[in-house]
Amino acid sequence: MSTRLDPVTLEVVRSAFPAIANEMAADLQRTSYNMMIYEVRDFCTAVVKPNGELVSQNVGGVSHFVADLGVVIEDGMEKIGADGFQPGDVIITNHQRVAGQHLNNIVIYTPFFFEGELIFFSMVRAHWIDVGGMSTGFGGGPDVADPWMEGLQFDQLKIYEAGERNETLYKLIHDNIRFPESSLGDMRSQIAACRLATRRLEELFEKFGPGVIHAALDRIFDETERKCRNVVTGIADGVYEAEAFLTDDGIEIGEPIRIHAKVTVAGSGMTIDLSGCADARRAAINSRTLAGARVAYKALTAPTEPVNEGSFRAVDVVIPEGNIMMAVYPAPMCMWSIIVPTVVDTVIRAVAPGMKDTIPAAHYGLLGGPVVFTGIHPKTGKRFIVQSIEGGGWGGRPHENGESATVSVCQGDVRNATIEGIELKCPVIIEERTLRTDSGGAGRYRGGLGMQTTVEVLVDGTWICEPPKRGEICPAWGLWEGKPGKVGEFLYRTPGEEEFSLADTPRNLLPKNSQLIVRTGGGGGWGNPLEREAVLVADDVKEGYVSAGAARDDYGVVIDDATQEVDRPATEELRSKRRAAARTAAE
């Protein structure tokens, strides 16, 4: 077969690999058992080369999952060896020594051979609801002391070898997790998705041959790199820095966690240095990942383009060993995801002076507000688990408001679970799911709104949550005089109690008929709030996004109580006074 690469073939191959990953995702979502996969979409699917180069991922795949898949493959090649793989193998791994995340994030991958040569691996990383230990739901809390306490660790193990299932390993998993039907059902779904990819890859290689495919991928990677470099070239050379803080880690209360990003731009190259971040902690808030830097770089350079290895060729990431983002095993990592969205925001904030017409204000900075409740279903006598991730507000942008009720920048196409699906399968009632008035930061372009979700639980059980760590010490910041968004909080009330209490622990035992509230934060505002058109503020008040009091206090807009329209003389007078006071303060 010829290695000649014509433009039409190039475009066919360019579309084929993302299509394979997308079909894997559809297959996984359609056949999985776990609400976190089929409803929330907390997974990614991908094709990766044996050298760890990313070929493609599904559209909407969880971005902080896919950022480290290449490291997993490199480790597998080193541990098993190129000659150790054969057709029909299925490898399971989640070990934190390589790409440290919580153990619930299980990677299943299979090798693809063509004419006897190992060419690719098809991979699925997906969130299991349980892997033993304290992993149920989201993997424990800050006081999980080590990975053994968190759950089962799989270190590049073959669950299938040459098509034959390892019954001993399968039984070991089955007997040591709380939801074997769900988790092992999800594993079978992951395997099916990988095998589907193998069939599609065989069809592609039989049609075009390996020479054409490899030539096309080389061209695609080069073009992707060039597009990213072209964006960076538009940023003035220099060193850009920013920092943020998490309130604490849940154990060392009152000791903020520093996040520092130093971004160096030189021509078309960029270096993201996270050396200034805090050292690894005793609490389980550590991670071992390039995701924070890579997700930020992708968002800055080519956010709507398909991702492949070329997306990251022109960025150097510096994270020293022992850093909170590059913790050394066995540092506890079950709450690894809490810090990553803020790292992304901090990198983006650093380069804001060089991309003023592009960079938004900060978003609420968490993966989401988890609604995770588990207990015994009264009708079946079996364990159940509710799982949903409630989104928050994104920052205002240079030309429009921030998005409301959206998951974090790290999460791709993750969304909350449907009310109907939750109530149909679990003994809870979703009493309210609404936008939080005044949660978005004021600005010329308003920050997006957070959410409030209220749940009544109909049985005794455990509410598992991750108390927000970006408190008042570091809310979603505004840019260019924009104001910060409100922070989130988790509350609960047991029967007979009048007031709600703040949930400040990851596990809360709730009796029947208790209520829990998940409030997510809002995004920061972009630009001076006094420059926002008064009529737009009035529209926000009518929609319930902004209260009349906040319209006056934050935007200098007076709303007539009777008509709900702008009182223009009063507004002009108030805004003139505010501007004059600001000029005086500046002088």
pLDDT digits (tens, 9 = 90+) for 46-75: 999 999 999 999 998 888 887 789 999 999
- By CB atoms closer than 10 A (0-12, 13-18, 19+), residue 266 is exposed
Q: Give the separation between CA 291 and CA 64, rounded to whole angstroms.
A: 5
Mean pLDDT over residues 462-471, rounded?
75
Mean pLDDT over residues 561-567, rounded?
92
**Percent of the chain scoring above 70 in pLDDT:** 99
Amino acid 141: pLDDT: 79
| Stated pTM of the model | 0.94
* DSSP H or E segment with residue 579: helix 568-586
Q: Give the separation between CA 283 and CA 145, rounded to whole angstroms.
A: 7
pLDDT of residue 469 exceeding 80: no
Residue type for position 253: I
Dihedral over alpha carbons 72, 178, 372, 184 (to 10 degrees): 50
Residue-wise pLDDT for 568-586, tens only, equals 999 999 999 999 999 998 8
pLDDT band at 337 (very low <50, low <70, confident <90, very high): confident
Residue-wise pLDDT for 296-313, tens only, equals 999 999 999 999 999 999
Q: Which two tokens stand for residue 158?
A: 């073959």
Could you identify the residue written with the tokens 């159940």? 384
pLDDT of residue 232 exceeding 90: yes
pLDDT band at 1 (very low <50, low <70, confident <90, very high): very low
pLDDT band at 368 (very low <50, low <70, confident <90, very high): confident
pLDDT of residue 559 exceeding 80: yes
Mean pLDDT over residues 313-324, rounded?
97
Mean pLDDT over residues 479-498, rounded?
95
Which of 67-71, 94-98, 116-120 has the weakest average pLDDT? Answer: 67-71
**Percent of the chain scoring above 90 in pLDDT:** 86
pLDDT of residue 2 exceeding 60: no
Mean pLDDT over residues 558-563, rounded?
93
Amino acid 507: pLDDT: 85
Q: Give the separation between CA 61 and CA 413, rounded to whole angstroms.
A: 6
